[in-house]
Amino acid sequence: MELIKTTLYTTFMITITSLSLQHKHLMLALMCLETTMLIMFTMLVIFTSTSLTASQLPMSTIMLTISVCGAAVGLSLVVAITRTHGSDFLKNLNLL
């Protein structure tokens, strides 16, 4: 069990690092963000299954629902930006 927790912590830190280093494509940044949310969901499920508290059981479903809604909004933004600017390069966007 400790090996699983260590692996999850390590992959979480790797995805956060790759998200902070991603400066080229918006789609790759969104994929890093979704990977982070998936790892957080896995950690939440593992930790609530070991603690056996009934009050924390619906939290994993709520977090997964919010993550899916965020992914849908992010994908729609990528489609809109690609249609208006021609690519999803972050250097082509003027976000100010």
> What is the total count of domains within the chain?
1
Would you state the pLDDT for residue 69?
93
Mean pLDDT by 10 residues, the chain (96 residues): 87 90 82 91 84 74 90 89 79 61
pTM of whole model > 0.85?
no
Question: Exposed, middle or buried by CB within 10 Å (0-12, 13-18, 19+), for 76?
Answer: exposed
The answer to whether the beta carbons of residues 89 and 24 sit under 8 Å apart is yes
Domain CATH code at residue 87: 1.10.287.3510
State the residue range of the domain holding 35. Answer: 2-92
